[in-house]
Chains A and B, each alone.
Chain A
Amino acid sequence: MTTADTVDLAEKTPDEEQPYAALGLQPDEYERIREILGRRPTQSELAMYSIMWSEHCSYKSSKVHLKQFGEKTPKNNRMLAGIGENAGVVALNDEIAVTFKVESHNHPSFVEPYQGAATGVGGIVRDILAMGARPIAVMDQLRFGAVDHPDTPRLVHGIVQGVGGYGNCLGLPNIGGETVFDPCYQGNPLVNALSIGVLPISRLQNKTASGVGNAVILMGAKTGRDGIGGVSVLASATFEEGSEDSRPAVQVGDPFMEKLLIESCLEIYDAGLVVGIQDLGGAGLTCALSETSAAGGLGMRAYLERVPLREASMEPHEILASESQERMLLIVAPENVDAVLAICDKWGVLGTNIGEITEGDRLIISWNDQIVVDCPPGSLADDGPVYARPLREPADLILLQADRAETLPRPTDLRAELLTLVASPNLCDKSWITEQYDRYVLGNTVLAQPEDAGVIRIDEESNLGVALATDGNGRYTRLNPYEGAKLALAEAYRNVSVTGATPIAVSDCLNFGSPEDPAVMWQFAEAVRGLADGCLEMGIPVTGGNVSFYNQTGTVAINPTPVVAVLGVLDDVTKRTPMGFAEAGDTIVLLGETREELSGSEWAWVRHGHLGGQPPKVDLLGEIKLADALRVADLVSAHDLSDGGLAQALTESVLRRGVGATVELPGDAFVDLFSESAGRVLVTVKDVEALRAVVGDIPLTVLGTTGGDALTVRREGPGAVNTQFEIPLTELAEAHQGTLARLFG
């Protein structure tokens, strides 16, 4: 038997040098650990503190800003669990609640794209499961580098297959997401994954380890050496050369095991056998043992030699740090342990009693009768360092904002311009990706990509359902992080609203560069302030989220990319409004005002490689008014206008069902087609006057009529040269739909 670094040994050898810096700890953080323990930490304790106090787990740089979400954003009586839980929980009615959250898995996905993306999906699904919910859908928000960079195909293929491979095998429909290409993400692709689950309110779970004498059960996969240092090394530092060496820090996923874990946990919940539950993700057993016992305010005793291992030679600090996937930690009353283990057995899942809840407030962990950890769990889970890091507006921002896209040369041939834009990587049809995902499984998918929001039926009897959308525009946020964050919120809110749903909750995934760079920290602070202010203004709570820092290579950070998810409720999903034009003869109407807003636009980027100026103006009260009108109006179709403006919305609307359109543009044809003004929706109706009656003072412009086999654009009057054109749907489809297959085959 090997000898571990025990508490006894640590007391006897106070001066032993410890590799705290290599584990990502600062000298003063190390000193604080020594103070807390009154001695040097053991090797296992050092590993645990380095993980729990890492940026990823402790939110040490973001905490001071994130508290605005709790302070500013409104509470409503729908919210059953919020920030700090595994995921936020929102009641739909007196009996049913949903839980949803979006999380990043960026760094692992660059190092090992398939497994990084796959375990990103697996991790967020376990968060949902830990709340007592059955996971019912996933979405993915992907950001890649330039399409023509030699490394991009490796990432696109690996990440898309990883998202699909895991989600498909788990039997969760993928109902939407985003794919963006931009050189700023070259060395730092973003892989964000969202999951949503549904639960009877009575089944809501928490992570509290209560009840002295209760057993601590580890369920699921065996523990291996994969993912060691994942959160402290991969997720909490900037990439340098040689990041391939970090590959062992990426976890390896087994979706089949996760499927069994889901079914067995749900059976255990339904039988009422569990007191508390926590998933094991980033930070593995370290996080689960310390968070559950800290939440319970009691002590815990754990025996590491009982943990089933993939590799028998693993040492205690490795067992504690392992991020092996598909594991859950359950707190179970002694009389229920046998019943829990029987359910595990039925599903072929390992269940092991690894310890118990104790009196006091010490987390004591032994390995073959040697005590390797003896510390207060709260010091790991709650008392990590908090930094108010310096903030400084990026030095180039003033110049960047002065360099407006509105002054760029404009095209003379709008037909060619439209065809180029709708074929560009960010605006083109994404079927090549979304066809790799199962959107049908579970049989409740009402709307999925390319619709503005995913819509899922929750109840087959009442047709109660939810709508979900995520948005984030890194270019807007780069130009103005405060307004950019509000724009992301506005767009996700609008995407949910066009289906007819009522938005009720927000989750977010905040992807930024290094917090040690004051300019990045300023972007972060501004974006959080913008999102919190926006939620306050819109009266919608933030229920949880995730921060991903260190998305930068060397000194170059990604565009700040807050991804905002909005959840809406539909009392009757059969009444949802889809995005495509349905049949000939409907009237096409634009709701909202089009301004000359081209800065940060897809047009400026595709045509001129330009990023400068101020992003479009955002009016959140106007967005609410628009959403309210969309809910009561009798609409045939509704499609939000965002990236690519009206040209893009028209293209997607006509191609969805192959129903053409003839539109007459009211103002400057170029601006009308490519401006990205917020607060706009393209709708079709049978009765314009009825629509007029419900939209109040929202600007309403009748654009034309649906029908035919072409998109026909007219502009009468002076200056109308080259602004009248017709594009057969076949030609439009060829331009819009071929891009990704051509690039990535």
Chain B
Amino acid sequence: MKIGVVTFPGSLDDGDARRAARLAGAEAVQLWHADADLKGVDAVVLPGGFSYGDYLRCGAIARFSPVMEKIIDAAKGGLPVLGICNGFQVLCEAHLLPGALLRNSHLHFRNRDQKLRVENTSTAWTSGYTEGQEIVIPVKNGEGCYQADEHTLDALEAEGRVVVRYVEGNPNGSQRDIAGIRNEAGNVVGLMPHPEHATEALTGPFGGGVDGLVMFTSVLASLGVKA
């Protein structure tokens, strides 16, 4: 199975996302922002970073790149897409996910090992967790405060589309402690925390957790690969 990772100018965690895909057993494929070509990948990760410098608005320029036009179409057709941090911002800008990510409520960039609760496992990226499972995955962002109108938030909750939630402290002021959400079909997931940074005991969260790897093995399972 091939997991494609997009490199925008200013992407930073693209190499880490490719490493995570490899550790999960997939073939990692680099996708270039300017090429309207998905190279036959089975799933796509939009990695963290500051695409196009995050000028104008986080993710606002990346959303119009040639590769994104293809990804938007493919996602509507069911291609599993995971947006991490800047990738989540791109998915919101592309309207594949509702809401927006604003400046952290405390106005600081914040990097810490964050405890999360997996709220929904009926997505391509979280099927390997159990519902209610608590996991530790690093957050690192300056603009990760999830915002949507009350109506949208209620709908997300009612439809089980809140995928992961911050527990034991909200690192950025997100509404309803939302760390990640999915689309209606469950193939598109966006989240602020960085699962690709919790895939090796040596370099992962303090204490050696590898909880993030499950996101990458989940998508392989959803594509029919036996674990």
Contact = CB atoms under 8 A, between A and B. Distances in A.
Given A260-B10, A441-B140, A446-B203, 11 more contacts: A168-B109, A171-B12, A256-B52, A434-B111, A435-B109, A436-B111, A440-B138, A440-B203, A443-B13, A443-B16, A657-B207
Interface stretch (B73-81, B128-136, B178-186, B192-200): B192-200
Given A165-B109, A169-B53, A435-B111, A443 B9 contact: no
Contact of A457 (B52, B202, B207): B202
A438 interface: yes
Contacts of A404: none
A161 B142 CA distance: 11
Contact of A443 (B50, B55, B142, B200): B200
Contacts of A431: 112
A436 B109 contact: yes
B4 interface: no
A347 interface: yes
B99 interface: no
A585 interface: no
A161 B207 CA distance: 28
Nearest to B18: A443
A64 interface: no
Contacts of A573: 202
B203 A443 contact: yes
Interface in A556-592: 573-574
B198 to A, nearest CB: 9
B52 to A, nearest CB: 7
A460 B202 CA distance: 11
A390 interface: no
Given A256-B10, A446-B202, A457-B202, A440 B111 contact: yes
Contacts of A460: 19
A14 to B, nearest CB: 50
Interface string A427-470: 00001001111111111111000000000010010000000000
Interface of B: 9-10, 12-13, 15-16, 19, 48-50, 52-55, 108-112, 138, 140, 142, 194, 196-197, 200, 202-203, 207
Nearest to A164: B109
Given A169-B53, A171-B12, A440-B194, A574 B109 contact: no
A436 B15 contact: no
Nearest to A254: B53
Contacts of A334: none
A161 B112 CA distance: 16
Interface in A232-259: 254-257, 259
A348 interface: yes
A171 B49 contact: yes
Nearest to A657: B207
Given A256-B55, A260-B9, A436-B109, A441 B16 contact: yes
Contacts of A445: 203
A490 B126 CA distance: 49
A166 to B, nearest CB: 11
Contacts of A457: 202-203
21 contacts: A161-B109, A165-B109, A168-B109, A168-B140, A171-B49, A259-B12, A347-B9, A431-B112, A435-B108, A435-B109, A435-B111, A437-B111, A438-B140, A440-B16, A441-B13, A441-B140, A443-B16, A443-B200, A444-B203, A445-B203, A574-B202
Nearest to A432: B108
Chain B CB count within 10 A is highest, among A169, A170, A457, for A169
B112 A435 contact: yes
Chain B CB count within 10 A is highest, among A171, A440, A574, for A440
B110 A436 contact: yes
Nearest to B12: A171
Contacts of B50: 169, 255-256, 259
B54 to A, nearest CB: 8
Nearest to B207: A657
A254 B55 CA distance: 11
A443 B15 contact: yes
A436 B108 contact: yes
A161 B197 CA distance: 23
A611 to B, nearest CB: 33
Interface string A152-181: 000000000100110011110000000000
Contacts of B54: 169, 256
Contacts of A255: 50, 53
A433 B48 CA distance: 22
A257 B10 CA distance: 9
A441 B52 contact: no
A173 B128 CA distance: 30
A662 B55 CA distance: 53
A574 B108 CA distance: 32
A435 B202 contact: no
Contacts of A442: 15-16
Contacts of B13: 171, 441, 443
B9 A348 contact: yes
B145 to A, nearest CB: 16
Nearest to A436: B109
A165 B54 CA distance: 12
A657 B208 CA distance: 12
A457 B207 CA distance: 17
Contacts of A171: 12-13, 49
A502 B138 CA distance: 30
Contacts of A165: 109
Given A436-B110, A574-B202, A443 B196 contact: yes
Chain B CB count within 10 A is highest, among A164, A168, A438, for A438
Contacts of A437: 109, 111
Nearest to B48: A441
B146 to A, nearest CB: 19
A431 B108 CA distance: 12
Contacts of A435: 108-112
A576 to B, nearest CB: 9
Nearest to B204: A440
Instruction: Sort A-B residue pairs by CB-CB distance and give the 8 closest, nearest first.
Output: A256-B53, A171-B12, A443-B16, A440-B197, A438-B140, A169-B50, A436-B109, A440-B138
Nearest to B11: A171
Nearest to B49: A171
Contacts of B16: 440-443
Interface in A624-658: 657
B144 to A, nearest CB: 13
A536 B19 CA distance: 42
A443 B108 contact: no
A431 B19 CA distance: 28
Contacts of B52: 256
A515 to B, nearest CB: 38
Contacts of A169: 10, 12, 50, 53-54
Interface string A254-293: 1111011000000000000000000000000000000000
Contacts of A434: 111
A457 to B, nearest CB: 7
A363 B9 CA distance: 36
A741 B108 CA distance: 12
Contacts of B48: 441
Nearest to A346: B34
A434 B13 CA distance: 19
B95 to A, nearest CB: 25
B46 to A, nearest CB: 15
A713 B207 CA distance: 27
Nearest to B196: A443
A457 B202 CA distance: 9
Nearest to B53: A256
A446 B203 CA distance: 5
A434 B140 CA distance: 11
A255 B108 CA distance: 18
